[in-house]
Amino acid sequence: MKRALAALLTLITLTAVVPQAGAVGLYGIYWDRDHTDEEGYGGGLKNSRPLTQALSWDGRVSYVNFSDSDLSVIPLESTLIGKLGLGYLGIGYGYYIFNGDGAPDNDFGWYYLVGIEFPVSKVAVFGEVRWLKLSADIDNPAPGTPGSVDLDSRTYHVGLSLNLSH
């Protein structure tokens, strides 16, 4: 069931470009794990599609590598965005694919975010802060260690988007 949902989310994320409307974007990521000193850096792509004047949907795919280990993650995410002038709020859900020695199992998580976007003609500069809630199981944990890991995090995204509706 998880694989089917992940495949569906991936398909939606990667094929949602609508030529007559929306925007596509490229962004950098700083990932700060709560309760640890571990940091991650990476980048991603987003695809925005307007639903109404004030609501839009984003499909996102990213890659983040953590500096203190060989752990990396590929988030596949879907976000509902509410626009408030230049600012916006969002809530989203994602499937997180982990890679590396001792990596936790792939799992689902959710997040909320706040951001701001400065449009200049067809291009916009944006920045956002996200709070991720994610816990993943660990296969064959060492004796005396927990069977899951708390991956709650705060992430920062800064990037550019190209508006396709102009």
| Residue 45, domain CATH | 2.40.160.20
- The answer to whether the CB of 155 falls within 8 A of the CB of 31 is yes
- What is the average per-residue pLDDT within 3-25? 60
Domain hosting residue 111, numbered range: 2-15+24-163
Looking at the predicted structure, is the pLDDT value of residue 15 above 70?
A: no
- The answer to whether the CB of 92 falls within 8 A of the CB of 72 is no
- The answer to whether the CB of 106 falls within 8 A of the CB of 96 is yes
**DSSP, res 122:** T
Q: What's the mean pLDDT when you consider all of the chain?
A: 86
Token couple for 9 = 């989310």
Token couple for 44 = 């991603």
- Residue 19 is predicted with a pLDDT of 45
Percent of the chain with pLDDT over 90: 61
Distance, CA of 60 to CA of 4 (rounded, Å): 18
Q: Where residue 18 falls among pLDDT bands split at 50, 70, 90?
A: very low
- Higher-pLDDT residue of 104, 4: 104
Tens-place pLDDT, residues 134-159: 988 877 766 777 777 888 999 999 99
| Total of domains in the chain | 1
Q: Where residue 70 falls among pLDDT bands split at 50, 70, 90?
A: confident
- Residue 13's SS3 state is helix
Q: What's the pTM?
A: 0.84
